[in-house]
Amino acid sequence: MEKLTFIPLILAFFFVGAALDNTVVDLVMMLFFAGYALVKPKNALIVLFMYFPIRPFLLEYNTALKGIGDIIVFALLFRILWMYRKDLKKLFHFYWFELAFIGFIIVGAVSALITGVTPTAIIFQIRGFVLFYLVFYIAKRLEITKEDVYKFVATTIFVTVIICIHGLIEKLSLRGWLLPQSWQDMPLSSKNRIRIYGMIGNPNILAYYLSFSFAIILYYRNWFKGKYQWLFYVILALTFSVWALTYSRGTWIAVGVACLPTCS
């Protein structure tokens, strides 16, 4: 359990930083996460999976926090380059699908330029693709162990529970409590107002995330044995309830189709 204490501490750090919205605090946070990524690269990689699901919520309170993901990714990339500085072969070893992905980005960028898309828009789009690719590039070279996978699963479950509890509060308070003012004032139709948007700020994306979390919880159900078995059912019921209350029909259909091979 001691190895998992960083999970609630980092989450608390996120929320405190969002609440204070102070330039000095923001700078300290950026320096902290850069240093943390250099010293504890595997934990920092897991921090990204804590940060991105709640990023829209945090940014509504403090827009300066949008740089945390970039800081961690580039600090991790520097750590990888330093680790393998004497073994360049590992740095430039790519799977075929990585090369295909890089080719896709190049072709897409050239096509966008030809069709008149502004360079600024292209750069921002490429940035999103490259950052997520770098997460894979880094993870592949960090030699992930079974213990690291357990940390990732525990993090996913912990973050999912927080998001689900927040979602239920949003639902029960009719979007009146623990939401940024801009989200409370969002003009929504009567049909959309009953949906849970969550910390992600989008019911469809929230449903996708919870589907992923639900699958992980089911797969690792053996964690919850004996006196902890009740906790498994509570987390499962909580996740399913919020997932259903997103009213994301597209996700429901996708999950149903994905389950067909299992049921047949």
User: Per-residue pLDDT tens for 122-178?
Assistant: 998 899 899 999 999 999 999 899 999 999 999 999 999 999 999 999 999 999 899
Give the global pTM. Answer: 0.90
Token digits of residue 246? 């997103």
**Cβ atoms 224, 231 nearer than 8 A:** yes
Quick one: pLDDT at residue 226?
75
Quick one: pLDDT at residue 156?
94
pLDDT category at 259 given cuts 50, 70, 90 is confident
Token digits of residue 152? 């990732």
Please state, in angstroms and rounded to a whole number, the distance separating the CA atoms of residues 141 and 79. Answer: 10
Please state, in angstroms and rounded to a whole number, the distance separating the CA atoms of residues 48 and 45. Answer: 5
pLDDT category at 1 given cuts 50, 70, 90 is low
Question: In this structure, what are the phi and psi dihedrals at residue 108, rounded to the nearest 5 degrees?
Answer: -65, -40
Give residue-wise pLDDT tens across range 65-104: 999 999 999 999 999 999 999 888 889 989 999 999 999 9
Judge residue 86's burial from the number of C-beta atoms within 10 Å of its C-beta, 0-12 exposed, 13-18 middle, 19 or more buried: exposed
The whole-number average pLDDT for the span 177-188 is: 92
Give residue-wise pLDDT tens across range 193-246: 999 999 999 999 999 999 999 999 888 887 777 777 888 899 999 999 999 999
Count of CB atoms within 10 A of residue 60's CB? 16
Give residue-wise pLDDT tens across range 37-56: 999 999 999 999 999 999 99
